[in-house]
Structure 1
């Protein structure tokens, strides 16, 4: 088959005129048989040739590199169409097979006899009623068509090629969960929905079918282009658009100047319930600009880069691809859910356009702007969020660093009151502001940099120092644990947390989900959480939780036994950013003790901190330490999130810890200075009050394997157990920090 080349399209006006404009039109010609044969053979070897290969083909065949590029694009499109036709044939054959099976069943029913008397059966089982069979057949066909269309569109291969889910049965894990207070909780059903399987992707999240016309794409391109122009002005203009807040020194938007420079036709129609969140921040991160751009434009890497903020993300449609093999010019329609790590704050849902443009050599701008699409299938969020032009400017610096300037600009309409504990944090704009995005980006880029460094842990397990591969494997295992923990706080499909009744003076909320991921224990998992306020600076609370010497003061499940850190891997310049392996102290002297260890990751930046942990047996740790793939090591994480309460005094202290983002190392040093002990684990002075500097919002999350049966429901006994577990933990935390009389 011959392929037209030269302009990237086919067809066109073939009438020849003699005016100058027509002479400038590109001429289309057919490739020779030799050229097509050579291109076809290369396509079989490599359907996506790189620029070097395309240049080599260009010289060999006497074609322009652009012609080579478009030939491969057209050939890939043709192959995709052929695969889709083959898939449709396979689906039709599957439907025919179902139809034949039903006909055979009906024929067999005509000859059925009673086994007792040998005569025809008395009455007819309604299950085999012909009309019901036809209805079921129609439902099966609809379901098959629906799943197949989703597979073809989002997975990219026929449904027949999808790998089967392999359940994991590890008896030691079930026993370990029981020993940690969560085994065997099966009983009468409680009115609590069972969520579908958990996943690092987006399980069962319904999306409207995308049907985007050329007119829609043109409109999207116009919206994205205007948004990019606005973002660049927001990034490059200081006063009068931006001003320093007199309260905490943050850069905030001057709304009067903004509306004068960017007038909007419907500004006067804005609901009085809508409020604006707008902030800007800049800093240096330890990652080069191209790598950052690639991660930002990939939805999965976007979630991986911001696990504490973005609980889910998905690219719904690529409207236009980048030019010359780069991301510049890429426009895509995306969906994401943003969260504060507490069940008391509902997630924010956003449909938006993301557009990347290279401004100059070594400088890129990425803009996000909301785009409304039908949302009948989406769950209703109590917080309606509209993103005005927001995004970042990424500028390459020497030695693999980048300077990032970040702008967040949101219109928020809350349909329900903000929880009283989070009022200051949310309404100040800190919860989803530019400062939080940038601080998280700096910390995660440091983590990725540590992942690449071939260094050993500072302390080892049993005298065996892990190799560079072992260190990377442990870091990947801990990263998956933290991501799973963050996603557990925002259940999928819009299911809300259920408030449990109990004797505690604070709210405990719970949710059930069916765990099906290879990296999680198989069965039904109960997640329970609460958030409390304490009048103690967040850094001091973080010190307390991550110090193994004070763990017995709050860890109910350790039976007040001291623990010992037996392995330690740094994953950032701040001493508090690390991965630890812990074991009960008596295990070091008693070989009869079980081999259950605790994997823990702690991390801190200017926006808050996390301490996440989960039980892991010794063989699993040895697998990771040896450098093997840790993807199938089951984890069920619990832990704490520590967030500043948003009060002005506390934010000044956090700003001092975060600095102005001039460098990641200076940020870490400043944060360490604020912590006093340098994050080294000392708990001295932890119980001291904040002296008017604000306090901390602490979210306590426990996940427990309720049952290995996929259909189990939570029993009243489970409610009491988890209420007591969280209640006792909170009381012990308050007692250890001298806050026993503090109300939440």
Structure 2
């Protein structure tokens, strides 16, 4: 359990702890006067006015400020709404007012501003509530009037068009959203909550109850990529009563993480792959930490690992990345599908993050729609130790919410960061979770159950690769003379920024995130193809219209490194890339992104006999580390690319990324710093984003879905055939 003195060395976590009794007394006095409003200030009677024979009900004197006084105090209020005693005296002296008059005016002004803000917030809530109600009614009417496209009669569920199925799902989502916002409005506005009956009798919005007509007997749903109900944002921040508990929990978690990072066997057991990877002995952990942060949750499997790495990154840069939710989710985009900070309890010491404490929520993924994401509600605490080492620790807060049922609990996890010479840092990373892996697809179970899919090895490998990428982006001494090397700083910066956006878009749409819902298009044999849709209207980085995202994952009997080299090689692209129409692909520019020659950003030209595809450009980034590889690409307009390479804004280059994520099929052995699968095989995810209609308001036809389904299946068959052919050549069977 927590000890009362745990927080003695962490007193700087909450700024409120520095308030003096005098400040608290002033705050109470402010509250007493906050009920006054306006600029007419009632003065207390002076000593001369306090006549004991005066009638007690006689009204007191009022003082009305001059226009000049009001203007001066208004200007001062904009700069400092809470003046101290010295400022009030100085302002009163300058305006011929008593300090108490100045104090009352500022109190009333603050009350007035607060009331205005509350009225604005209430208006916003009412407008949002009414908008959702109108949308809900419109969708219900659309469903009620739905007709069969063939016979014109009432439509059965299985006969609905692709968009009509989406309306049904969106209707259920809006119903939940209306109930939530109506509850908020009732709290602030005073109106009773609204509750709409479910338009469907088939259960909640996330149940798989909508069969897709003419496509599959398997049931599924279609969600909007980056547009479905965002469960992360519905998580409320901590209450005032929970904050002291969170602080003690964070301090306890940090103490545990530091101990776990510093001890070796028998707590940590080295793996048999001759790497620095270690796994936790659960029995020894229970003996070493008998109380910890609480007992193990029933039905969950313990998963813990430790890994160390030296990275080309300054230790303070790394701390900033970990404590900035946007930078953190971008650097680890292959692992973190979504993340947000709910509340910052402490910003730490001025100038750095020493003592910073923030409540967060995040969703962790494997790049495949076949592996469920892991969602955590947790606190992140950053502290610099006496020896200069920085520690960043996460620990779940699910236990504070008795109503929540967690599939994954994060025990003290995080990293120790040690400063090294020449801007390098040594990072010791620990991942310790309790999780339910029951919903993982069979082909991924060996990888996930081994702890490699979400473990410390994957985090440090990603960090190492991204540190090399950052160093490459900042390099200035690029040798000229190599054909295709971009040496201009503007061109390199634009091309790398464009590639980064492409990778982020790919990673955010390839996993099984709760932000979008996949629909399976094949139900009998073979590999399932999952699809989702989104509509792009005003995003300059994406072409306007309806975009269909399709993905499938399957096993290949080839080591991951061989698959990676095959897919990134422009000379073998015609063997699988249908969109290039078997044209000759040539690399015309590249930027190296690390020690591995396969880690680079390339610009490819497709010389095709098809006039519509002639001289088409393809932006491609390939990256590989010891836990997985990516080959991600997107067609780009030649004119827009030339503008970007000349120093123009790359955000206006429209991208629809497609590509591959390659993982080992389980724990295996290391060869040349690369992890090969347990059986020597690979898990390959293929994903496409394709514009199927340039008009965002048009309906998505099932024919478009069929085309994309055929495209991705044909690509898979081509890859399987090419891999089998290469294996035969390797074995000498021609």
Match of 2:397 in 1: 371
Q: Is the 8 A contact 1:208 1:377 kept in 2?
A: no
Structure 2 residue corresponding to 1:610, chosen from 613, 630, 636: 630
How far residue 595 of structure 1 moved from its aligned partner, in angstroms, is 5.0
How far residue 89 of structure 1 moved from its aligned partner, in angstroms, is 3.7
Match of 1:195 in 2: 223
Structure 2 residue corresponding to 1:251, chosen from 270, 274, 278: 278
Q: Is the 8 A contact 1:529 1:700 kept in 2?
A: yes
Q: Is the 8 A contact 1:203 1:492 kept in 2?
A: no
Q: Is the 8 A contact 1:363 1:393 kept in 2?
A: yes
How far residue 441 of structure 1 moved from its aligned partner, in angstroms, is 0.2
Deviations 1:309-345 (A, max 9, x none): 1010000111222023321111111111111001111
Name the SS for the 2:651 alignment partner.
Answer: coil
Structure 2 residue corresponding to 1:393, chosen from 413, 416, 420: 416
Deviations 1:126-172 (A, max 9, x none): xxxxxxxxxxxxx999969969999xxxxxxxxxxxxxxxxxxxxxx
Gapped regions of structure 1 (runs ≥ 5): 15-37, 48-76, 100-138, 151-186, 659-670, 675-689
Name the SS for the 2:673 alignment partner.
Answer: helix
Structure 2 residue corresponding to 1:701, chosen from 663, 680, 687: 687
Q: Is the 8 A contact 2:225 2:515 kept in 1?
A: no
Name the SS for the 1:701 alignment partner.
Answer: strand
Cα separation, partners in 2 of 1:212 and 1:435, compared to 1, 3 Å: closer
Question: Take 1:513 and 1:574, find their aligned partners in 2: how far apart are those partners?
Answer: 36
Cα separation, partners in 2 of 1:98 and 1:526, compared to 1, 3 Å: closer
Structure 2 residue corresponding to 1:652, chosen from 666, 670, 675: 670
Match of 1:719 in 2: 705
Match of 2:117 in 1: 87
How far residue 557 of structure 1 moved from its aligned partner, in angstroms, is 1.2
Query: Aligned runs of 1:206-285 on 2, under 5 Å?
Result: 207-208=233-234, 210=236, 212-246=238-272, 250-264=277-291, 270-271=297-298, 273-285=299-311
How far residue 411 of structure 1 moved from its aligned partner, in angstroms, is 0.5
How far residue 85 of structure 1 moved from its aligned partner, in angstroms, is 4.4
Match of 1:108 in 2: none
Cα separation, partners in 2 of 1:92 and 1:505, compared to 1, 3 Å: closer
Q: Is the 8 A contact 1:470 1:626 kept in 2?
A: yes
Q: Is the 8 A contact 2:242 2:400 kept in 1?
A: no
Q: Is the 8 A contact 2:377 2:396 kept in 1?
A: yes
Cα separation, partners in 2 of 1:39 and 1:624, compared to 1, 3 Å: farther
Question: Take 1:473 and 1:149, find their aligned partners in 2: how far apart are those partners?
Answer: 48
Question: Take 1:505 and 1:95, find their aligned partners in 2: how far apart are those partners?
Answer: 49
Q: Is the 8 A contact 2:411 2:433 kept in 1?
A: yes
Question: Take 2:383 and 2:491, find their aligned partners in 1: how far apart are those partners?
Answer: 39
Question: Take 1:276 and 1:491, find their aligned partners in 2: how far apart are those partners?
Answer: 22
Cα separation, partners in 2 of 1:427 and 1:502, compared to 1, 3 Å: closer
How far residue 469 of structure 1 moved from its aligned partner, in angstroms, is 1.8
Cα separation, partners in 2 of 1:270 and 1:591, compared to 1, 3 Å: closer
How far residue 460 of structure 1 moved from its aligned partner, in angstroms, is 8.6
Question: Take 1:94 and 1:709, find their aligned partners in 2: how far apart are those partners?
Answer: 30
Deviations 1:632-665 (A, max 9, x none): 22110000111111143xx333xx415xxxxxxx
Cα separation, partners in 2 of 1:738 and 1:144, compared to 1, 3 Å: same
Structure 2 residue corresponding to 1:481, chosen from 483, 499, 502: 502
**Length, aligned pairs only:** 574
Given the two structures, how large is their TM-score scaled by the length of structure 1? 0.68
Structure 1 residue corresponding to 2:590, chosen from 564, 568, 586: 568
Name the SS for the 1:360 alignment partner.
Answer: coil
Alignment of 1:601 with 2:621, yes or no, is yes
How far residue 415 of structure 1 moved from its aligned partner, in angstroms, is 4.6
Match of 2:493 in 1: 472
Question: Take 1:344 and 1:699, find their aligned partners in 2: how far apart are those partners?
Answer: 10
Moved more, 344-353 or 521-530: 521-530
How far residue 470 of structure 1 moved from its aligned partner, in angstroms, is 1.7
Match of 1:74 in 2: none
Question: Take 1:495 and 1:13, find their aligned partners in 2: how far apart are those partners?
Answer: 51
Moved more, 446-455 or 245-254: 245-254
Match of 1:679 in 2: none
Question: Take 1:78 and 1:261, find their aligned partners in 2: how far apart are those partners?
Answer: 58
Cα separation, partners in 2 of 1:574 and 1:373, compared to 1, 3 Å: same
Structure 2 residue corresponding to 1:454, chosen from 462, 476, 482: 476
Name the SS for the 1:579 alignment partner.
Answer: strand
Name the SS for the 1:214 alignment partner.
Answer: coil
Cα separation, partners in 2 of 1:332 and 1:92, compared to 1, 3 Å: closer
Cα separation, partners in 2 of 1:80 and 1:207, compared to 1, 3 Å: farther
How far residue 695 of structure 1 moved from its aligned partner, in angstroms, is 1.1
Given the two structures, how large is their TM-score scaled by the length of structure 2? 0.69
Structure 2 residue corresponding to 1:295, chosen from 317, 321, 329: 321
Q: Is the 8 A contact 1:357 1:366 kept in 2?
A: yes
Structure 1 residue corresponding to 2:345, chosen from 296, 305, 319: 319
Question: Take 1:12 and 1:614, find their aligned partners in 2: how far apart are those partners?
Answer: 59
Match of 2:718 in 1: 732
Question: Take 1:10 and 1:594, find their aligned partners in 2: how far apart are those partners?
Answer: 76
Structure 1 residue corresponding to 2:556, chosen from 534, 542, 560: 534
Name the SS for the 1:421 alignment partner.
Answer: helix
Match of 1:35 in 2: none
Cα separation, partners in 2 of 1:713 and 1:188, compared to 1, 3 Å: farther
How far residue 716 of structure 1 moved from its aligned partner, in angstroms, is 2.9
Moved more, 308-317 or 595-604: 595-604
Cα separation, partners in 2 of 1:412 and 1:188, compared to 1, 3 Å: closer
Cα separation, partners in 2 of 1:373 and 1:286, compared to 1, 3 Å: same
Cα separation, partners in 2 of 1:216 and 1:324, compared to 1, 3 Å: same
Name the SS for the 1:615 alignment partner.
Answer: strand
Match of 1:577 in 2: 599
Q: Is the 8 A contact 2:306 2:431 kept in 1?
A: yes
Cα separation, partners in 2 of 1:268 and 1:641, compared to 1, 3 Å: closer
Query: Aligned runs of 1:75-114 on 2, under 5 Å?
Result: 85-90=115-120
Name the SS for the 2:653 alignment partner.
Answer: coil
How far residue 620 of structure 1 moved from its aligned partner, in angstroms, is 1.4
Match of 1:403 in 2: 426
Structure 2 residue corresponding to 1:429, chosen from 442, 447, 451: 451
How far residue 559 of structure 1 moved from its aligned partner, in angstroms, is 1.4
How far residue 704 of structure 1 moved from its aligned partner, in angstroms, is 1.1
The structure with higher relative contact order (CA 8 Å, sep 6+) is 1
Question: Take 1:470 and 1:618, find their aligned partners in 2: how far apart are those partners?
Answer: 14
Structure 2 residue corresponding to 1:349, chosen from 375, 384, 388: 375
Name the SS for the 1:215 alignment partner.
Answer: coil
Cα separation, partners in 2 of 1:739 and 1:84, compared to 1, 3 Å: farther
Match of 2:354 in 1: 328
Gapped regions of structure 2 (runs ≥ 5): 1-15, 27-71, 82-106, 130-176, 189-212, 729-734
Deviations 1:680-702 (A, max 9, x none): xxxxxxxxxx9x86111111111
Cα separation, partners in 2 of 1:145 and 1:571, compared to 1, 3 Å: farther
How far residue 520 of structure 1 moved from its aligned partner, in angstroms, is 1.6
